[in-house]
Amino acid sequence: MRISRPEISREENTVVYRTEVESEDGSRDLWFRVDAGFGDLITDTSDAPLVGLLIPAMAAGEDIHLAGTLSERLYYNLSAPYQALLQHIFPALQKIEIRPERLRAEHGRAPGVATGFSGGIDSFCVLADHHYAPDCPESFRLTHLVFNNVGSHGPGEQGKRLFKIRSDRLAPKVERMGLPFVLVDSNLDSFYGEGLTFAKTHTPRSIAVALLLQQGIGRYMYAAAHTLGHTSVGPDSGISRADPICLPLLSTEVQEIMPGGEIYPRVEKSFKIAEIPDSYDTLDVCVQDEDINCSRCRKCTLSMAPLDAAGLLDRYSSQFHVDAYRANRYRLLARALEKPKPGPLRRDIVRYIKGEYGWRFRLLLPLSMWKYRAAKRIRRPLGRLARRILHTLGRERKPPE
């Protein structure tokens, strides 16, 4: 894989960072686009495309040749230790060589401090400590929020459409918080093949955006999905449990990458943000594309349950269908907890709501789970039988003459 020297140009009211990528799949451009007002944040190094394309290159077994300038620290860490960690998590990845044209070891961090912001619990928790907290040191206080399009909104034009809808929804609420909102569009997702989903590879994708902005952002806090106690390096369905170890390896001489909110269990994060009035009409945890949280999916259910048990859910009545949730609480929880081996986040939530709901949880939830599983066992064979009958009827129906 060959990555050309980046070109930075102004196109209408945006600034575009573009580099040509040649690989076994052919030649095409990788680009990142920001509003012109934030153009001074963009670096001229090749750090961003290297981090963004490392996993696709390792999946294809292609060495990376960089015509641009690369951070010396990033070159060292990505050449060996970071790749070793990735191979522990995704054993199918292959070790590759990184061959930069030039290395740079500049020092002197820019004063900007940023984090990605989607309106979710993890990103709000970073704001709780680094924006709303009065005792936060100034060099750790947020100066910018970032919202990017590197795969979380879906592929191609569908992703661009959702990116626009969601950023438009968030923008007035971020303006109320008093922080600049940096929108970064990109086609990075198109370089990730089948199996390399956003859920698996979100960390390096998002950090590529952070590194793009290192000319003005000297410290970037990546919202942690797991607590430090859940940190692990080994075969996994995603990369996030290794973030506390991996993130520092993605830092450069001029930008520090660090986790944010990694010391808090999920339930504690929920309670921290429940003290932030700005979250009451902004919190967005849902996997569905709706104006407010659907209040039915697993993520909604597991976000609402601790707030409901603590008597805090009514604060979010504009963001959730609170009455519908309460009317179906145990059925929704049964579906959300149905998998036989819940992960550490779900275990933390269950441990808390067991204590708060008390006997109701211990009696009604197992009953609801039994009913849910029994219904699934009945629905599946009935569904198969119905499809078989329809298929037989379709074969027996004579075609028109």
Whether residue 208 has pLDDT greater than 90: yes
User: In this predicted model, what pLDDT tens digit does every residue of 19-54 receive, in sequence order?
Assistant: 999 999 899 999 999 999 999 999 999 999 999 999
The residues, any chain, with a CB within 8 Å of residue 238's CB and separated by 6 or more, are 199, 200, 201, 202
| Mean local confidence (pLDDT), 11-17 | 95
**What mean pLDDT comes out for the span 220-246?**
90
pLDDT in the model for residue 397: 47
Q: Is the pLDDT higher at 49 or at 358?
A: 49
Q: Rounded to whole angstroms, how far apart are CA atoms 206 and 48?
A: 10
Cα separation, 51 vs 207, whole angstroms: 7
Helix, strand counts (H, E) of the chain: 13, 11
In this predicted structure, the answer to whether residue 7 has a pLDDT above a threshold of 70 is: yes
pLDDT at 400: 47
Q: 4 vs 238, which has greater pLDDT?
A: 4
Q: Which residue has better confidence, 226 or 96?
A: 96
State how far the Cα of 242 lies from the Cα of 247, in Å rounded to an integer. 8
Distance CA 204, CA 83 (A): 12
Q: Nearest Cα to 342, choosing from 333, 293, 270?
A: 333
Rounded to a whole number of angstroms, the distance between the first and last alpha carbons of the chain is 57
CA pair distance 236, 241, nearest whole angstrom: 9
Output 229 or 144, whichever has higher pLDDT: 144
Radius of gyration (Cα) for the chain, nearest Å?
Answer: 23
Give the pLDDT band (50/70/90) at residue 363. Answer: low
What pTM did the predictor assign? 0.87
Picking from 140-149, 169-178, 233-242, 262-271, which range would have the lowest pLDDT averaged per residue? Answer: 233-242
Does position 401 have pLDDT exceeding 60, yes or no? no
What is the model's pLDDT at position 229? 84
Res 364: pLDDT: 53
Contact yes or no for 285/300 (Cβ under 8 A): yes
Closest C-alpha to 237, from 284, 200, 185: 200
Q: Is 50 exceeded by the pLDDT of residue 18?
A: yes
The predicted pLDDT at position 230 comes to: 85
Q: Which amino acid is at 301?
A: T
Domain borders along the chain are 2-260, 292-401
320 — pLDDT class (breaks 50, 70, 90):
very high
pLDDT over threshold 50, residue 268: yes
- Flag the least confident range among 162-166, 213-217, 286-290: 286-290
Q: Which two tokens stand for residue 219?
A: 């410290």
Answer whether 224's CB lies under 8 Å from 345's CB: no
Percent of the chain, pLDDT > 70? Answer: 86
Kindly give the interhelix angle for 344-357 and 298-309, rounded to the nearest 10 degrees.
40
Query: b/e for 338-352, b at 16 or more Cβ within 10 A?
Result: eeeeeeebbebbbeb
18-21 long-range CB contacts below 8 Å, 24 or more apart? 19/46, 19/49, 19/68, 21/49, 21/53, 21/191
Do residues 108 and 252 lie in contact, with contact meaning Cβ atoms separated by under 8 Å? no
